[in-house]
Structure 1
Amino acid sequence: MNAQIMHKDVDNSTLIEEVFAAGYDFITGVPDSHLAGFLSTLEQHERAADCYLPGTREDNCVGLAVGARLAGATPLVFMKSAGLGTCIDALTSLALVYRIPLVLLVSWAGHDGRDVPHHNVIGQPAPAVLEALGIPVLHCRFSDSAGVAEQLRTAHEESAAFRGPVAVLCAPDGK
């Protein structure tokens, strides 16, 4: 299923406004096809120049988010589930050890084993990987903009209370 079809019912403009309303003021991550509509809308937003920094590696994005948080920002890091493996060291040696609140918005490739094999390998155990690291996990579906926004607001509050990272796993819609 391509990103355009998957996201045809998602109101990305409202979702971006909800992200800003929730208090996120530093957004970074590695582009992913599941987040294409979200990212396209973000890049066109008037606040993008002040708060959005695209990345090339998930571990670098976590490092940027930690620095932004230490400077007083409220960071949101987006990635696909395969990126979790890339950023484990940055999460464990920075965000978790130093108790830095940040939110991970993870597009859940391989959810329920309904993807290409290499996405399934990391996608199926993604919640268990996050839980093993002690990172709280919230769930949502891509097609539910209001649900995504609600989970991002909740994650922001939980990360501040938890004093560490919180992940929002966004699953694709069922076939």
Structure 2
Amino acid sequence: MKTDECNNTIYRILHEAFLRNQVTFATGIPCGGQKVIIQNILADGRITHVACTKESEAIGLSAGAFLAGRQPLVYMQNSGLFGCSNDIASLLIPFRLSILMIVTWRGIPGEDAPQHLVTGSATIALLEALGVPYRILTIESAEHVVDDLMVQMRRDWLPGALLIRKGWER
């Protein structure tokens, strides 16, 4: 199988997991690492997409969608996760809103983007400090990782984060 075909298959599997978990609303701040994920969302008429300009805005929109009976997905980069951490702590967690966050994890060791190193090294610590469950997406886990995370989120009534490393699909 060619790399492009494999990538398309992996991204299709991931998108099907979103649908299987009743994701019907998406919003966020685009990151190049999520390009195909966002393209698949935009191409799927079953998922309402609302553009926004800040991660905090995306959290607010997703909270409204959740309260209206939708299952939201918010996409962002980990630097944006830090920017909206107060919104997560003061809205999603106390009001028990099980919102799925897809977070591109920049600044991990070996990455060539020094501006991301501080937030990269602190991303998991932030999620753990907030008590937000998370999973790290790998090519091996693509078929079940969303299901596993959503089960925990719904059981505990918490938001959750799916962390995506650069090049995860290779």
| TM-score of the superposed pair, with normalisation by structure 1 | 0.84
**Unaligned ranges ≥5, structure 1:** 1-5
Alignment of 1:126 with 2:123, yes or no, is yes
Tell me how far apart the structure 1 counterparts of residues 4 and 94 of structure 2 sit (CA, whole Å).
Answer: 36
Alignment of 1:170 with 2:164, yes or no, is yes
Contact 2:13 2:142 in 1 (8 A): no
Runs of 4+ in 1 over 4 A off after TM superposition: none
Residue 161 (structure 1) aligned to one of 147, 152, 155: 155
Q: Deviations over 1:86-128 (max 9, x none)?
A: 1111101100111111111111111225131111111121011
1:99 counterpart residue number: 96
Tell me how far apart the structure 2 counterparts of residues 94 and 57 of structure 1 sit (CA, whole Å).
Answer: 16
| Letter in structure 2 aligned against 1:112 | P
Tell me how far apart the structure 2 counterparts of residues 34 and 76 of structure 1 sit (CA, whole Å).
Answer: 16
Give secondary structure in 2 for the equivalent of 1:79: strand
Distance 1:46 1:77, change over 3 A: same
Contact 2:25 2:72 in 1 (8 A): yes
1:3 counterpart residue number: none
2:30 counterpart residue number: 31
Of 150-159 and 128-137, more deviation after overlay is shown by 150-159
Residue 148 (structure 1) aligned to one of 142, 154, 165: 142
Instruction: Map 1:48-67 to 2 at 5 A.
Output: 48=47, 51-67=48-64
Contact 1:26 1:68 in 2 (8 A): yes
Give secondary structure in 2 for the equivalent of 1:77: strand
Tell me how far apart the structure 2 counterparts of residues 124 and 8 of structure 1 sit (CA, whole Å).
Answer: 32
1:20 counterpart residue number: 19
- Shift in Å at residue 68 of structure 1? 0.9
| Letter in structure 1 aligned against 2:146 | L
| Letter in structure 2 aligned against 1:43 | L
Give secondary structure in 2 for the equivalent of 1:40: helix
| TM-score of the superposed pair, with normalisation by structure 2 | 0.87
Q: Deviations over 1:143-164 (max 9, x none)?
A: x2x6235222222221111111
Contact 1:7 1:37 in 2 (8 A): no
Task: Report the RMSD for the aligned CA atoms in angstroms.
Answer: 2.2
Of 74-83 and 105-114, more deviation after overlay is shown by 105-114
Give secondary structure in 1 for the equivalent of 2:84: helix
